[in-house]
A and B are shown apart, each in its own frame.
Chain A
Amino acid sequence: MNFENKELKDLLESIRYVYGYDFTDYAEASVRRRILHFMAYKKIEALDEFGKMIVRDEKLFEEFIQVVSVTVTEMFRDPSFYKSLRENVMKRLATYPFIKIWVAGCATGEEVYSIAILLKEEGILNRSVIYATDINQKSLQIAKEGVYAVENMKSHTANYQKAGGIESFSDYYKAKYNSVMFDKSLKQNIVFSPHNLAVDKSFNEFQFIICRNVLIYFNQQLQNKVINLFYESLCTFGFLGLGSKESLLFSEKRKKFEETDRKEKIFIKTE
């Protein structure tokens, strides 16, 4: 089973019309793949049948959101990125009396707690606020609770150490049965909230924006639009951190940033 681009566009267009969620400028190959899987799992045979069902059935749409928004994440993903933050970004952030950070597309929150740990170790968490946003409300709920499976902690701890962490990582959480809960002190200054990068506007001014492994799911046009949104939302000399394979290549604002760490995709807004 497969379908043409036009059919896919029509489906995404009707979802946008009915629910206000705009996936029309997502990179097609990945959306196509996830829709095909979802249809197979739901035993729906044809795309037009699926289209008719999804605009009528809000529950089905909610399930669909879980499928198209890829929730895969980990703590200190790409440890060298976080190491570079320690070395190149934290000291600069520390010069501000009050620090505002936006983690866009935070999924289930592992990345947010990683950033909070860096801020804490730098001694600046208490004067920081982290806004953590995503379109997926279920993921945000998990992020807010900060409760994770214990079996992932081994690799998270290894990542933390590779990222230059020298504290005892287990001090940051309490283990209970098969899960761990991150410390309240880390959560205090985090605000979790829904925000859709494809349709919602800028809502504050930040010294640091992190958006990793979200832009890869967008086409060039939407990437450009979202980088514009970040540009508007950053103060001058604010930092932008992207995923290891993402870049500003397709952004009309690329000349307005300089590379703080080319390899780790950390940029600074210079004008």
Chain B
Amino acid sequence: MLGEKIKYKAIVIGASAGGLLALSTLLEIIPSNYAIPIIIVQHRSKEPRGLLEEILQSKCNVKIKQVDEKEKIENGIVYIAPPDYHLLIENDFTFSLSVDEPIRFSRPSIDVLFESAATAYKGNLIGIILTGTNNDGMLGIQSIAANNGLTIVQEPEEARFPTMPLAAIHTKKVKHILTLAEIQTFLLEINTD
């Protein structure tokens, strides 16, 4: 298998343009009793508030939930960052939200989630960058790598928009470049450990 024998405690995923399809492809194979939490920033417009979650839930078995402020992170739930807030992870594994200025036009920002997740989960974190038209996630991927977490990027040739995967790869801190099908296999593999 692709990961070393490490007990991963969380997965963070960043997606932008084209992300809905990629996310639903990945998440529809996740069982409802998945062993760890999956935490997602998908760039999204301010409204309508719960549409993304509803669409994903209609396709998936695993519970999909928009993050509530100060919520405790639990295994087997897919958390989505709310529109118009940055999502951060505290060291006690609860969520915080912030309305700090958008970063390169994005709020939520993938970098903000990934950097705080790397601080909280250290080497027990998996970070995945999917399709997108900007370079959000570049700093986050570097932080995860610096904390000995595992970094994965969607194969740019397969991605609907390759810019974001390419920007992440450009950091030279990406461990695996995989197609969605390969990421699916990987997500199921770490679940059986």
Residues of A whose CB lies within 8 Å of any CB of B are 2, 5, 27-30, 32-34, 70, 72, 213, 216-217, 219-220, 223, 243, 245-247, 249-250
Given A5, A29, A220, which contacts B89 in the complex, CB threshold below 8 Å? A29
Please name 18 further chain A to chain B contacts, defined as beta carbons within 8 Å, in addition to the given A32-B116, A70-B98, sorted by A numbering: A27-B70, A29-B89, A29-B96, A29-B116, A30-B96, A33-B88, A33-B100, A33-B112, A70-B101, A72-B100, A213-B99, A216-B85, A216-B99, A220-B70, A245-B68, A245-B85, A249-B68, A250-B70
Instruction: Compute how far the CA of A32 lies from the CA of B70 in the bound complex, rounded to whole angstroms.
Output: 16
Instruction: Name B108-125 residues within 8 Å CB distance of A.
Output: 112, 115-116, 119-120
15 CB-based A-B contacts, threshold 8 Å: A2-B119, A27-B70, A28-B90, A32-B116, A33-B116, A70-B100, A216-B85, A216-B98, A216-B99, A217-B98, A219-B70, A223-B70, A247-B69, A249-B70, A250-B70
User: Which residues of chain B are within 8 angstroms of A220 by Cβ–Cβ distance?
Assistant: 70
User: Which residues of chain B are within 8 angstroms of A2 by Cβ–Cβ distance?
Assistant: 119
Q: Interface readout for B57-96 with A: 1 if CB under 8 Å, 0 if not? A: 0000000000011100000000000100100111100001
User: Which residues of chain B are within 8 angstroms of A243 by Cβ–Cβ distance?
Assistant: 99
Instruction: Compute how far the CA of A5 lies from the CA of B93 in the bound complex, rounded to whole angstroms.
Output: 13
B100 — nearest CB in chain A belongs to which residue?
A: A70
B82 — nearest CB in chain A belongs to which residue?
A: A245
User: Which residues of chain A are within 8 angstroms of B22 by Cβ–Cβ distance?
Assistant: none
A37 — nearest CB in chain B belongs to which residue?
A: B100
Contacts A216-B98, A217-B98, A245-B82 given; does A28 touch B70 at CB 8 Å: no
User: Which residues of chain A are within 8 angstroms of B85 by Cβ–Cβ distance?
Assistant: 216, 245
A263 — nearest CB in chain B belongs to which residue?
A: B49
Contacts A32-B119, A72-B99 given; does A245 touch B69 at CB 8 Å: yes
Number of B residues contacting the other chain (C-beta, 8 Å)?
20
Q: Is the Cβ of B119 less than 8 Å from the Cβ of A29?
A: yes
Instruction: Compute how far the CA of A220 lies from the CA of B85 in the bound complex, rounded to whole angstroms.
Output: 18
Given A28, A33, A219, which contacts B115 in the complex, CB threshold below 8 Å? A33
Min Cβ gap B86→A in Å is 8
B46 — nearest CB in chain A belongs to which residue?
A: A78
Given B88, B99, B115, which contacts A70 in the complex, CB threshold below 8 Å? B99
Min Cβ gap B128→A in Å is 20
A217 — nearest CB in chain B belongs to which residue?
A: B98
Which of B69, B88, B89, B101 counts the most A-chain CB atoms under 10 A from its CB? B69
Min Cβ gap B158→A in Å is 33
Instruction: Compute how far the CA of A223 lies from the CA of B89 in the bound complex, rounded to whole angstroms.
Output: 18
User: Which residues of chain B are within 8 angstroms of A33 by Cβ–Cβ distance?
Assistant: 88, 100, 112, 115-116
Instruction: Compute how far the CA of A70 lies from the CA of B96 in the bound complex, rounded to whole angstroms.
Output: 14
Min Cβ gap A174→B in Å is 27
Min Cβ gap A96→B in Å is 31
